[in-house]
Chains A and B, each alone.
Chain A
Amino acid sequence: MSILVLADHHDGQLAGTTAHVVAAAQEIAKAGGGDIDVLVAGEGVSAIAEAAAKLNGVSRVRVADNAVYAHQLAEPLGALLVELADDYSHVLSSASTTGKNVMPRLAALKDVSQLSDVIAVEGIDTFCRPIYAGNAIATVKSDDALKVMTVRSTAFDAVAADGSAGIESVDKVVDNTQSSFLKEELAQSDRPELGAAKVVISGGRGMGNGENFKLLDGIADKLGAAIGASRAAVDAGYAHNDMQVGQTGKIVAPDLYIAVGISGAIQHLAGMKDSKVIVAINQDEEAPIFQVADYGLVGDLFEVLPELESKL
């Protein structure tokens, strides 16, 4: 039986996360799974399908291009996946907000469990996933005929874009009378995507206010970094919700993570402790963040940040 990967996309582009999910699908294929198909569902998505067809290891891209799939609302997207699922042993998506929104619907309608945030493939039916904010790793075995799962993209290296899969359209169109899209307010940024950036610099409550978050900009510019925030900073209104790094926000694992004015609550650590190198800048030398930081600098961030920017 084959494996289906639901492609992530936004703004007319294939999201980087999809190449990581295909990598997870390849591991399942190596453990005895079948061919890998990618589903691209949306409106006006032919360029996205072409990008997906280049992902290494993909046999076929299936394209559901219709207005009903615009904005990837959960109700029609879930119904579409249910229509297609009988051809597959595994259906995977990234643990993006789209994946989390729709995959449980597919699982419930097929009367199977869903595995969330898979971080390792141990076999065709056995997977590892974090629980309790990543403070424990559970190994679970699914005896369901259909395995439905979301994949933590940072746990798998992206496949190369050197393939040439065939593209087929899906003629099935589902109805949706229950939900409609009203509007979207997306943060405009030239910076890299938080979940995929090689360097992330995050601010916490210690930043003091939203205006001070600009102190991170110059450093982010010099390092090509994405800017993140702790929950405390988001709750206080210093930063947008989509910048939140942590158990219930974004999970990041960059080469370099710089935590500024962040104390290091377990919920925050859950979102960044798999980073390769962690730097903590905090004036409280007892802050728990220093227990996970490779390099800690105790000091006043309002002095440290301008100096750091000038010396990079």
Chain B
Amino acid sequence: MKVLVAVKRVIDYNVKIRVKPDHSDVDLTNVKMAMNPFCEIAVEEAVRLKEKGVASEVVAVTVGPKAAQEQLRTAMALGADRAIHVQTDDKVESLAVAKLLKGVIDEEQPGLVILGKQAIDTDNNQTGQMLAALAGMPQGTFASEVDVQGEKVAVTREIDGGLQTVELSLPAIVTTDLRLNDPRYAKLPDIMKAKKKPLDVKTPEDYGVATGSKVSLIKVEAPAERKGGVKVGSVDELVDKLKNEAKVIS
């Protein structure tokens, strides 16, 4: 079974972003970029499926600018066999990404597609679900366990209130949550080897997909700053403040 894993180049999760002075967007100039953390978990899961003999090949795919090839090389250093880069400098929203990934699915015919549940830049949590709908496949979102058994996969999902396990017929879409696995770090020899692995470059036109969206960004603002308050010296003082100043307890 072939496993397709989608990755996204995003701001490094440790970086605190700034809004541009003209409020047109956030300022990503000279900001450290990295693979979206949920995508790292997706790559790790795909590689583990290959190590267990469930997957025969792991193909990584991304949609984004030329620099996003760094994240594809990272995916291959972590164990993906080859990569597909749908290259575009446009800002591509979830629906168009899902359409492009549907195009890749049509060509590659994977048995399982794994994506991160959300990217930490737009915080949308949409692409996997949209892809599942467009591809006519069932979905196991927010996965904390993935168990492939023959023609089916059991996916345990992190839901409000606890865990839910669903059984899906393959091919299926899985999106990863935090507890699915602990991604490995790439070793230097693997990073070197990844440079020689095949990387196909495509364009949105190859898939007949227009990258535009009917949602326009009007403005971006910083949220209301929360001011730090006071340090209290004792539990007594804390309880007094909560009762008499903040009036949040009685």
Contact = CB atoms under 8 A, between A and B. Distances in A.
A37 interface: no
B95 A115 contact: no
Nearest to A257: B248
A276 B235 CA distance: 20
9 closest A-B pairs (Cβ-Cβ)?
A: A104-B129, A294-B229, A108-B130, A178-B138, A186-B162, A105-B133, A104-B126, A108-B133, A143-B214
A214 interface: no
A212 interface: no
Contact of A296 (B19, B179, B231): B231
SS of A interface (majority): mixed
Contacts of B203: none
Interface of A: 10, 71, 73-75, 78, 96-98, 100-109, 111-117, 126, 130-144, 177-187, 195, 199, 223, 231, 234-235, 240-242, 244, 247-248, 250, 255-256, 266-267, 273, 276-279, 285, 290-298, 304, 307-308, 311-312
A114 B249 contact: no
Given A131-B123, A295-B241, A308-B238, 15 more contacts: A97-B142, A100-B125, A109-B134, A114-B94, A114-B130, A133-B120, A136-B19, A136-B222, A136-B223, A137-B222, A143-B214, A178-B138, A247-B120, A248-B117, A278-B229
A312 B130 contact: no
Interface stretch (B58-66, B164-172, B192-200): B164-172
Contacts of A106: 133
A105 B232 CA distance: 49
B107 interface: no
Given A130-B123, A267-B13, A241 B19 contact: no
Contacts of A195: 160
Given A140-B218, A144-B214, A182 B123 contact: no
Interface string B185-218: 0000000000000000000000000000111111
A133 B17 CA distance: 10
A180 B166 contact: yes
Contact of B223 (A130, A140, A312): A130
Contacts of A114: 94-95, 124, 126, 130
A199 B238 CA distance: 16
A75 B138 contact: yes
A235 B118 CA distance: 18
Interface string B222-250: 11001011111011101101100010110
A137 B231 contact: no
A104 B125 CA distance: 8
Contact of A187 (B162, B217, B228, B235): B162
B126 A137 contact: no
Given A71-B164, A178-B168, A179-B166, A308 B239 contact: yes
Nearest to B26: A136
Contact of A184 (B38, B131, B138, B164): B164
A184 B223 contact: no
Contact of B221 (A136, A143, A267): A136
B30 interface: no
12 contacts: A100-B141, A107-B95, A108-B134, A113-B214, A131-B220, A136-B222, A139-B220, A178-B168, A183-B164, A195-B160, A240-B162, A311-B236
Given A242-B160, A242-B162, A256-B249, A108 B95 contact: yes
Contacts of B223: 130, 134-137, 273
A105 B136 CA distance: 10
Contact of B216 (A141, A178, A247, A296): A141
A273 B226 contact: yes
A242 B221 contact: no
A40 to B, nearest CB: 17
B161 interface: yes
A19 to B, nearest CB: 16
B230 A296 contact: yes
Given A75-B138, A136-B223, A248 B166 contact: no
A138 B19 CA distance: 10
Contacts of B127: 104
A74 B16 contact: no
B33 interface: no
A75 B166 CA distance: 12
